[in-house]
Each structure stands twice: as C-alpha cells, then as structure tokens.
A and B are shown apart, each in its own frame.
Chain A
Amino acid sequence: MSKTLSGQSFWRRYVFSTNHKVIAVQYLFTGMLFLALGGVMALLIRWQLAYPWQPIPFIGQWLFPGSGGAMTPEVYPMLFTMHGGIMVFFAITPILLGALGNYTIPLEVGARDMAFPRLNMLSYWFLVVGSVLLLASFLVPGGAAGSGWTLYAPLSASTEVTPGWGQDLFILGLALDAVSILMGGVNYITTIMQLRAPGLTLRRLPLTLWGLFYSAVLNTLWLPIVASALFMVLCDRRLGTAFFLAGPLAPHAGGQVLLYQHLFWGFGHPEVYILILPVWGLVGDLLSVFSRKPAFGYQATVCSMLVITVLSGIVWGHHMFTSGMNPLVGKAFMFLTITVSVPTAIFFLNWLGTLWRGAIRLTVPMLFTLGVVFVFAIGGLTGLFNALQTFDVYIHDTYFVVGHFHYTLAASVLFGTFAFIYFWFPKIFGRHMNARLGYWHFGLSFVFLNAVFSVMMFLGLHGHMRRIADATAYEFLKPVQHWNVFLGWAALGLGLSQLLFFINVLYSLFKGAPAPANPWEAGSLAWTVSSPPPEHNYATPPRVFCGPHEYGVPSLTNGDWLSQADPQAAKLARS
C-alpha cells in the first residue's frame, strides 16, 4: 500500500495507529467479533437448557468430542462465565465506548484528534492483550473460568474450589481491559472538556457526548475499585492472603466474604449505567434528527443523566438483599434504587416530547432508536420489581433478574449499538448500508429479542434459578420446562437474524452506495466534513453558532435545518 499524505507506513496508519478514527474502527471490529463469539456461547447455553445433556447438533462433536457432542457439567459454568465477561467487557464496551466514543468525540467537538492520541492507541492494545489472555483461558488445563462473570468469592478466590489457571487468566484479562477502559475514560473526559471548538459551549454538545462523558466519569471513578478487588482475588488465589476467604477454605482468619460483593457491585452497578448512558444520549440525538425537531427538554435530559450518574454509585446494595447484609441497610438501598425512576421518567417524557408534532422519518437507525425506547421501557420498569426488597428475596438469582438485565444491558444496549452503526456507517466508511436488509434485521431482531427476554422473566417468576445447567433436576420447574425449549428456538432465531447484519456490514463495506457528507441532514459538526472524513478531520478549527438539534426552524426556506457551523444560525437558531 502506498504511503499516505502524512508519510506513514501501512503499519503505522492501520495497525499501530494513533488516529482516533482508525482506532474506533479497530474497536468496532474487535467488539463485533466478540459479540458473535458471546452470542454463539449463549446459543450453546440455551441448547443445554432446552435439551439437557443431549448432543448438540452440527458443532457438538467438534466442541465436546469427549462426551459424544453433549455439554458437560464442568463446561456449562465456563460458558455462562465467559458469555457474561465477553459481552460486557469485550463486546459492548469496545463498541459503545471504544468505537462510538473514539469516532464521534473528536469529530463532534471539532478537534483534529483525541487529547492523548498515543494513550488512545495504548488503550486499544491493552484490550487486545486482555482478550488474548481471556481466549487463552480456554486452552489451559482445567479450562476457562467457571465462577460466573461476577467472580463471587470464595468460589473465585480459592484454588481449592476453582483450581484451574483459566480463572487467573480471566481475572488478568479483565484487569487489563479495565486499564484499557480507564485510559479511554481519561481521554474522553479531557477531549470533551478541553478540545471543544470555539462557540461549542457545554449546552451545545450533542447528547451522545454527554452520555459518553458521564460514562467516562463513572469509569474513571469505579473501575480502579473493581480492578483492585480483582487483584485481591488473585492474591487470595495464589499468594496465600485471605481478603475474601472465611470459614474452612480460609488459610487464616480475618477475611470477609461480603466485602468482595460490596467492592464488585460498587463498580458493577455503575457499569450498567456506563453502558446505557451513551445509548441514552444517542437516542436523544437520533430521535431529534429523524423527527426533524429539536431534542425536547435538552437541559432536563442532561440533568437527569447527571442525577443517574450520581445515583448509580449509591445503589449497589440492591444486588445483595439476600446476601446476609443487614436488612435495614437494604431498605436504604431499595429506596435509592427506586428513585432512579424519576430521572428515567424524564428521559421518556423528553423522548416522546421530541416525537410529538415532529416530521418522523422511519429510517433504519430510527427504527433501532425507537426499539431502544420500547425495550428500555420494559427493562427500566422491571427494575422496580428487583428493587423491592421483599419481592427481590424471592426472585433474586432467578431468570427474572436475567430477563430484566438482558432487557437493559442486552436489548437496549444492542439496539443502541445497531442504531449507532447504521447511523454512523456512512460517515465512517463513506458508504450507505443496505436499507432493505436493515429493515429485516430490525423486524426479526425485535420479535425474537422480546420473545427471548420476556419468557426469561416469566420463567424467573416461576422460581427458575439462573446458572443451573438442567432445570429438569427440580420437580417445581418441570411444568415450565417447555418454555426452555421455546427459548432455545427463539434464541436461535435471534442469533440467525444477526447474520443479516453481518452480511450487510460486509456487503456495504465494499459494495454500498457512496454516501455524501451528510446523508441524514444532521446538524452536528461531524456531518460538515466529508464521508469518510479527512485524516485530521478539520483543516481549520470550525466555529459553532448554535446547538446540535436545530431542525424544523420556521424561517428557513431552503431545507428545514441549520448546521452547527452555519453562520446564519447566530440569527435564526434558539439554542
């Protein structure tokens, strides 16, 4: 390949690159690879639950030759552990923070790159090394980690119960990924705060950037805590300490089992907001673009995001109502948790307010955005059930919880991810994605995804525990086993529908129709540069004259919207 304008070699330009757009694409493809891998693991899990211990068709012989192609009790926990770890840390995080954050932040603030380009590159390569360790854990004697992605001590922390090195590799992989995300977080915060173009006040920032900003703040606050906790688990395993060990497994007295849960969920609960905040922001922006109407209640939305960011750090105890924690403490956690519904209600009001009296264009990214509104309504509202201490004691560690957090973390975040990719693809690659395939992808995903996750919640109400390999072992679960069969096929449908997406991405990368600079008629800065953008985005720093959502402006005769860089916005726009 020939040298580029800046005289860099192929390796410097496309592999060890410091360019935020290249790094974003690296994050995107890494994340999509792991998304596919985590998805296949989910399908294996669902097969086992639908048809316990039956040989898995097609790939079973190859995966489990020792057992005639059937799952074994030892492998099952590895699969749900790795499914969770991969999806949260190596699929969704790289796509929504790594790719969305890296790609949009510099372009939308009018900067030539991130504040710390080399740190940015380092952050990506930490993820790569972390993911290699994670994948290597499948190859070591004893297999991958099987303690659940939550790594509860003492199961994760004592080599007497989890002897394999897979557990250690999992911890190291997560720790490296945590460092990677931390570096990204510092970069995002600095870039958003320091590199904004003249005129781009905080009140004129696209909502996506607000979501990414709060998410980065949460990451920098809480990731060090979970990284430390993971390190302490490693010390308990290999260095003879007993931070989280008590009872007969402990080498000596002094450990506190519950301490681990406090540290883990102290990060773990903010984590769900870390993943959903960028999606909320994206939903706000995309509803505005495709309703051709300013985002309704912009400031209320940004304030609600701030309130949730603060609340997210003080609600972790709702994961521990049955842990033996004092129930009085639980009461406080319960009340703080259900007050999250107030800022959430304001999001919904503002999203619906944006649609109200709009001129709605049902494009593929818009459908996925509306999909987020729908599934997040379910995910958010079912959160209230989990928050209620008395009821949670019954449904804790059942499929109700699994269904609920998949509605928020899988359904909402996945639809947000697709909205992001369908919306930004023309800018990133300079080509349109195929709309017809996109509509089919949305329709099928919407049906199957709701089938899968709503049935999970019904199973949970019946008491179906999570993380069990075989529900038929229990008498009280026999009447609902047919729903596990249903779930298996619905999950397969959901998985197969994603093939449409992967085909669409591959096809559009090479054969998609060339995209203009601004195919969606969007107002924010990124859409003022060509598609794909020049190597350093802006030849001169752009000037900003209005907010990002100036659609439906009444006095305009040519079109219905104003770009943030349009000087006449100084007179015409209200934001």
Chain B
Amino acid sequence: MDTGVFPPNISTTGHVVDQLFWLATLLTGVAFLLIVAALGYFLLRYRSRPGRRAYYTHGDSRGAICVTSGLALLVFLLIDVNLAYHDHVAWAVVWGAPPSAREALQVEIMPEQFAWNIRYAGPDGIFRTSDDVTTINQLHVPVNRPVIVQLSSKDVIHSFFLPNLRIKMDAVPGMVTSLYFQAKQPGTYDIACAEHCGFGHYRMRGFLVVEESAEAFNAWLAEQTNEGSPDLSWGWQWAVSAPRASGTPGAHPPSAGARAWSGGST
C-alpha cells in the first residue's frame, strides 16, 4: 500500500519498518484522541460560572490511586511492551539475519567531505588487491541479491542513508560499521548523507542504481575503468564470517587502511 507518506519502498524488508510506523500511529493516535476529547469536554462542561464551585478533591483517594495505577499498567502493557515487542520482531527481519558473505555482494564505502568512495572487491573477491573496482558516488547493485555494505570514514562522521530502503548507518572514522539490504525494484535512487558533515553536507548525494539483472550488473562492473583500483590506500580485510547486524566497534578495525591513508601508501 502506498500512502504517499513515505518515499516508495524498494527493499525486501522496508514494509516492516512502515508497518511498525502504522502500529505506533494507531496506538499513540488513540491516546492522543482520548487526551484531546477529555480536554475539550472538560473545557466546555466545567467553565467557571457565577455561583459555581469546583469539586474539592486532591485526587489522592483510594479510587484515584486505583485509576492512576490502572492507567500506568495499561500504558505499560498496551503501548510500551506492545511496541517494544513489535520492534523486536521488526529488528530481527531488517537487521537480524545478515546474508552469508558467499551469497551477498560485498561493498566497502569510505566517505569523505563531500563524496562517497565506493569499492568492490573485483573478480578475486578480496578487498585491497589490485583488481578492486572503485567508483565515486555510484553504487550499482543487482536486483534481488543481498548486498553487504561496510562503512568507515576518511574524515568526519557521515551517515549512509537509503531512504527508499528505510535504512541508514553512520560512517565513523576509526570504526567499521555495516548494513545489508536487498533491493527488489530496478531503477536509480538517492543515497543521502544524513549526518551533518560540513558546509557541503547538503550536496553529498550519491546514486544507488539497482541493475535489472546479475548480467547487467556484471557488465557494468566489467566496464568500470580500473583507474581507482591500483590505489590501495584504503580498503580493509573483511572478517571471515559475515559481519554483525550492525557495526561493532573494534570487531575488525580498519587499522591497516586507517594508518595507510595518512601515510599515503601501503
């Protein structure tokens, strides 16, 4: 269902995020309507009139205490626990089942002020080798194939945001963070920087191109000139197992790369 509230969802898991929103909207909407209805009714019904005296109560009777405790329990169970449970389930779908490194396309992204440096492992499937393919601001992925992105940063914090896939992850200097996704609809979409990174933050735009087929993607990858590839000044070794659902500081620090950029070569 496209309500127009969100940009079109092209992710296999994006609808889970949207559903969580509608559930929270329903629950908080009911609470809001109850508050506003009571507020409106009381203001109309209990306006001050000559001779009218308010009901003298401090709201600390046994009945009031029961109502207060009951409301607290109701809010806790119906809203808090309910939402936390649904978030837990949604999280498991969106972030809790990373694809194996074998089936997924692996991409490294190393943003800097104000561009996205993107790196593919190339034919050998290993990063920081001479057949790596690098692009700037152009992230091409095949449709219907899981993609794992690992992020770090050359300077300040940036945030890798894919609005049409309902995910983002910060790119933090000195750390490797990661996310994964699977696009189900070919086309060209925006990559946005969501963390303020300096005066050019607003134009730090990249392009996510979802290729129509694996062949189209491979053809594109083969076309890429290798001009960036011999430059081994960034990139990092991937852990043998698939990355965790989210970045874990220190899991595999980009130390090799990190020291290399400042030195300028390996």
Which residue numbers of A lie inside 8 Å of B, CB to CB? 73-74, 76-77, 146-148, 152, 154-155, 158, 160-162, 245-250, 255-258, 291-300, 322-327, 331, 334-335, 338-339, 341-342, 345-346, 348-350, 352-362, 370, 373-374, 377-378, 381-382, 384-385, 388-391, 393-394, 396-398, 458, 461-463, 465-471, 473-476, 549, 551-554, 560, 574-575
Contact = CB atoms under 8 A, between A and B. Distances in A.
A563 B58 CA distance: 16
B103 interface: no
Given A247-B155, A257-B173, A390 B16 contact: yes
B198 interface: yes
Question: Which of B166, B167, B192, B202 has the most chain A CB within a 10 Å cutoff?
Answer: B202
B38 interface: yes
A257 B87 contact: no
Contact of B246 (A324, A348, A463, A466): A324
Nearest to A381: B28
A103 to B, nearest CB: 27
B101 interface: no
A116 to B, nearest CB: 34
Rank and list the top 9 A-B pairs by shortest CB-CB distance, nearest first: A246-B174, A247-B173, A296-B59, A552-B54, A463-B163, A357-B55, A324-B247, A293-B54, A468-B202
Given A246-B174, A390-B95, A560-B54, A341 B163 contact: no
A342 B91 contact: no
A458 B25 CA distance: 13
Question: Which of B76, B196, B197 has the most chain A CB within a 10 Å cutoff?
Answer: B196
A474 B95 CA distance: 26
Contact of B152 (A247, A362, A465, A474): A247
A475 B46 CA distance: 52
B83 A338 contact: yes
26 contacts: A74-B199, A146-B199, A161-B113, A247-B173, A255-B174, A295-B58, A297-B59, A322-B194, A338-B83, A342-B80, A346-B72, A349-B67, A352-B38, A355-B39, A357-B57, A359-B46, A360-B47, A377-B35, A378-B32, A390-B90, A396-B194, A461-B6, A461-B21, A462-B7, A463-B7, A552-B55
A384 B56 CA distance: 35
A170 B202 CA distance: 23
A324 B249 contact: yes
A165 B42 CA distance: 55
B42 A467 contact: no
Interface in B6-45: 6-7, 16-17, 20-21, 24, 27-28, 31-32, 35-36, 38-39, 42-43
B87 A323 contact: no
B246 A552 contact: no
B251 to A, nearest CB: 10
Question: Which of A324, A350, A353 has the most chain B CB within a 10 Å cutoff?
Answer: A324
Interface of B: 5-7, 16-17, 20-21, 24, 27-28, 31-32, 35-36, 38-39, 42-43, 46-49, 52-60, 64-65, 67-68, 71-72, 75-76, 79-80, 83-84, 87-88, 90-91, 94-95, 113, 152-157, 159, 161, 163-164, 166-170, 172-175, 177, 189-190, 192-203, 205, 245-249, 254, 258, 261-262
A575 B32 contact: no
Nearest to A75: B199
A334 to B, nearest CB: 7
Contacts of A146: 198-199
Contacts of A382: 28
B95 A298 contact: no
A554 B24 CA distance: 44
A161 B198 contact: yes
Contact of A292 (B53, B64, B67, B75): B53
B46 A257 contact: no
Contacts of B247: 324
B167 A323 contact: no
A161 B155 contact: yes
B154 A248 contact: yes
B169 A257 contact: no
A474 B192 contact: yes
B36 A377 contact: yes
B209 to A, nearest CB: 13
Given A324-B175, A473-B203, A389 B59 contact: no
Question: Which of B47, B68, B156, B203 has the most chain A CB within a 10 Å cutoff?
Answer: B156
A381 B188 CA distance: 35
Contacts of B173: 154, 245-250, 257
Given A77-B201, A390-B90, A394-B168, A353 B246 contact: no
B194 A398 contact: yes
B261 to A, nearest CB: 5
A358 B36 CA distance: 17
Given A352-B39, A358-B46, 14 more contacts: A154-B156, A246-B172, A247-B155, A247-B261, A293-B55, A296-B58, A323-B170, A355-B46, A389-B87, A390-B95, A391-B17, A396-B168, A473-B203, A474-B192
B21 A385 contact: yes
Nearest to A320: B170
Given A146-B198, A257-B172, A341-B80, A474 B190 contact: yes
A105 to B, nearest CB: 24
Nearest to B155: A249
A467 B68 contact: no
B171 to A, nearest CB: 9
B57 A294 contact: yes
A38 B47 CA distance: 37
B75 A345 contact: yes
Contacts of A398: 194
A352 B35 contact: yes
A361 B60 CA distance: 24
B161 to A, nearest CB: 7
A465 to B, nearest CB: 5
A548 to B, nearest CB: 12
A43 B226 CA distance: 48
Contacts of B71: 345-346, 349
Contacts of A463: 6-7, 161, 163, 192
Contacts of A152: 156-157, 195-196
Contact of A467 (B87, B166, B196): B196
Contacts of B88: 331
Contacts of B67: 349
Given A152-B195, A247-B173, A293-B55, A348 B157 contact: no
